[in-house]
Amino acid sequence: MKPLIASTFMQAYHIPRATGIEALTLTGSHVPTPERGQVLVHMHAASLNYRDLMIVEGRAARGAPPENLIPLSDGAGLVIAVGPEVTRFKPGDRVAACFMQSWVGGPLSAEDGASALGGALDGVLAEYRLFDHQGLVRLPEHLSFEQGATLPCAAVTAWNALFGGQPLSPGDSVLVLGTGGVSVFALQFAVAAGFRVIATSSSDEKLDVMRHLGADHGVNYRRHPEWQEEVLRLTNGDGVARVVEVGGTGTLARSILATRLGGEIGMIGALTTGGEINPTTAMRRNLILRGIYVGSRQMFEAMNRAISAHRIEPVIDRVFPFAAAAEAYRHLKSQTHLGKVVIRISE
Ligand SMILES: NC(=O)c1ccc[n+]([C@@H]2O[C@H](COP(=O)([O-])OP(=O)(O)OC[C@H]3O[C@@H](n4cnc5c(N)ncnc54)[C@H](OP(=O)(O)O)[C@@H]3O)[C@@H](O)[C@H]2O)c1
């Protein structure tokens, strides 16, 4: 049998200092050997999240990343070797990394929060990477490595926003803001679950794509700055049962007004600034504002079962070669994408 490992030498991107996209530096090193409980993965693909842009630009909420960080949380690849006492995986398994390496299930702990890849810990923009065996999941069989690499952050966050809080029922309305990674996954999961979806976007072309993917309605938030009024009109004045809130302080006040009495807002993003939030509005509407920080491995596994059952295909906007990783970052920064931006690390 052909050995799974082709080389003892590997390359990885590092961020020596978080001064911007041009700081990304490709460096060579030896392929590591897995120790007890570790799994060596030949990374085939990685995907970008808005957070990765914030990290390389030194504007992440946690402050400056560790010096010389390997960036990106989301990646997929092939298990090459396992260390002693690893029973969950074997060479040849196709896997994706969990965003938080130690959060298996239950409530989030401070330790779990400090185990995020491409942030507190080195990430996946590398040809080979060691993981703790608890920090990996199997890929759905119908997905390529590039599709699998889109799942760990954006998809798990969308899954958590829809299924980690108050239960929703088929026929309930869900509002997704914009057409980035999290929101497109939320649309796909909501459609599979039989929810009605209203999508907003700055672009009519992107709204057409969202309708093609199953959105019932699209609202252009540039043309309708008071877009919550459109959402109310489209829901007979009631508002939606759930908002996938990726906008942050600039959109939250409108999201509150667009939510039905007793509904829930998944508080996810910080794309916008400004805006004044009146807690009384949320209080009088009996809303739940639920903070979401990606999700656990158990959520990832539950999501993968649904992805397999419904044969959901992640929406990939563009795939960039490993050598052009900085171009992938610039493309994400342009915000012209819809869905996920992927880097192919190896064939
Ligand atoms: N809490 C968590 O665990 C978690 C996990 C993942 C992501 N996030 C956060 O969620 C946000 C989205 O992440 P992402 O990776 O999906 O981003 P992304 O792929 O870069 O997508 C961003 C999209 O948001 C839309 N947008 C921008 N301003 C908007 C506004 N004022 N109103 C409505 N939509 C707006 C734009 O869509 P259009 O071009 O269609 O207008 C843009 O393309 C980021 O703040 C990210 O940090 C948080």
- Ligand 1 in reach of 220 Cβ (< 6 A): no
What's the whole-model pTM score? 0.97
Looking from the CA of residue 339, the nearest atom of ligand 1 is: 19
pLDDT tens digits, 73-112: 999 999 999 999 999 999 999 999 999 999 999 999 999 9
Looking from the CA of residue 295, the nearest atom of ligand 1 is: 3
**Average pLDDT over every residue of 138-151:** 98
By most ligand atoms within 8 Å of CB, the mutation choice from 153, 246, 331, 334 for ligand 1 is 246
Question: What is the spatial distance between Cα 89 and Cα 87, in angstroms, rounded to a whole number?
Answer: 6
Residue whose CA is closest, atom 20 of ligand 1? 50
Asked if 43 and 346 touch (Cβ cutoff 8 Å), the reply is yes
- Ligand 1 in reach of 332 Cβ (< 6 A): yes
pLDDT of residue 131: 98
Residue whose CA is closest, atom 35 of ligand 1? 178
pLDDT tens digits, 304-330: 999 999 999 999 999 999 999 999 999
What residue ranges define each of the domains in the chain, with the CATH number in brackets?
Answer: 9-150+315-344 (3.90.180.10), 156-291 (3.40.50.720)
Residue 87 CA to ligand 1 center (angstroms) comes to 37
pLDDT tens digits, 21-31: 999 999 999 99
Asked if 189 and 162 touch (Cβ cutoff 8 Å), the reply is yes
Structure-token pair, residue 279: 């807690």
- Ligand 1 in reach of 335 Cβ (< 6 A): yes
Asked if 340 and 47 touch (Cβ cutoff 8 Å), the reply is yes
- For residue 239, CA distances in Å to 41, 132, 232, 255, 285 come to 45, 43, 5, 9, 11
φ, ψ dihedrals at 218, nearest 5° = -125, 140
- Ligand 1 in reach of 292 Cβ (< 6 A): yes
SS3 307: helix
Asked if 131 and 97 touch (Cβ cutoff 8 Å), the reply is yes
- For residue 63, CA distances in Å to 50, 55, 271 come to 15, 8, 17
Asked if 187 and 215 touch (Cβ cutoff 8 Å), the reply is yes
pLDDT of residue 1: 46
Mean pLDDT of the residues in the chain: 96
pLDDT of residue 3: 56
- Is the pLDDT assigned to residue 6 strictly greater than 80? no
**Average pLDDT over every residue of 147-170:** 98
Concatenating the DSSP letter of every residue in 160-183 gives HHHHSSS---TT-EEEEESSSHHH
pLDDT tens digits, 240-273: 999 999 999 999 999 999 999 999 999 999 888 8
Residue 249 CA to ligand 1 center (angstroms) comes to 13
pLDDT-derived band at 5 (thresholds 50, 70, 90) equals: low
- Ligand 1 in reach of 180 Cβ (< 6 A): yes
- For residue 147, CA distances in Å to 26, 210, 246 come to 24, 18, 22
Residue whose CA is closest, atom 2 of ligand 1? 293
φ, ψ dihedrals at 332, nearest 5° = -60, -40
Asked if 75 and 96 touch (Cβ cutoff 8 Å), the reply is yes
Residue 296 CA to ligand 1 center (angstroms) comes to 21
Nearest to 188 by CA among 63, 313, 27: 313
pLDDT tens digits, 175-198: 999 999 999 999 999 999 999 999
- Is the pLDDT assigned to residue 62 strictly greater than 80? no
pLDDT of residue 275: 82
Other CB atoms closer than 10 Å to residue 253's CB: what's the count? 16
- Let me know the angle formed at the C-alpha of 287 by 284 and 290, rounded to the nearest 5 degrees: 145
Residue 271 CA to ligand 1 center (angstroms) comes to 6
SS3 110: helix
